[in-house]
Amino acid sequence: MYKEIFRWVIAIISQPAKAWEELRQKEEKGDEFLSRFVYPLVGLVTVAAFLGVLFTRKEFDVEMALKASVRTLVSAFGGFYLAAYLLNELWQGMFKRTKDMRLCQRFVGYASSLMFALNIVLVLFPEFFFLQIFVLYTFYIVWEGAGPYMQVTEAERLKFVALATMVILLTPWCIGLLLSMLMPGLSF
């Protein structure tokens, strides 16, 4: 299962146009996508956050590692679901399409692949903080997926890509920020 996840993440990051075309043709039943792609990726990010804090700090602090993993879990998990919900609402409201939560969940999940991969690298190797700039590549990933996967017309494509990218990138960040403000003990 993890081998397939890594294959899709690498394909989406390295060749998004080809990957989106393959994903469009891929048959997924029910919530199979969630249990075979999103949940394991969120789990990997959470474990990486735990190990990253545990082994990259000067002191060996299990409590801080647990706090970091909880914050990462809630922001990644909540960010995914909130982004999918908001995109589904925008899908109907601004683009006059029929609501399709599963389609929006799959799109947000696959488009977030780079963000999940960067989170794993950055919590394990915090000295590579400059890699955060590559999260902007998500705009291109969403651009390539808007046409073939979401069937967005060329006239609406830029508006869809801008809104979807903002939703995908900002929801986990806002949830993490909110957690830090509500529970100062989660700041690390």
* pLDDT 10s digits, 48-58: 999 998 888 77
For residues 59 and 149, what is the distance between their CA atoms, to the nearest angstrom?
A: 46
* pLDDT 10s digits, 107-158: 999 999 999 999 999 999 988 999 999 999 999 999 999 999 999 999 999 9
For residues 77 and 75, what is the distance between their CA atoms, to the nearest angstrom?
A: 6
Nearest-5° angle of CA 70, CA 41, CA 165?
90
Q: Is the pLDDT of residue 84 over 90?
A: yes
* Residue that the structure tokens 């806002």 belong to: 174
Q: Token digits for 1?
A: 């299962």
| pLDDT (average), residues 78-95 | 93
For residues 175 and 74, what is the distance between their CA atoms, to the nearest angstrom?
A: 8
For residue 91, the tally of other CB atoms under 10 A from its CB is 23
In 57-112, which ranges are continuous DSSP H helix?
A: 62-93, 101-111
The answer to whether the CB of 41 falls within 8 A of the CB of 116 is: yes
Q: Please give the model's pTM, rounded to 2 decimal places.
A: 0.90
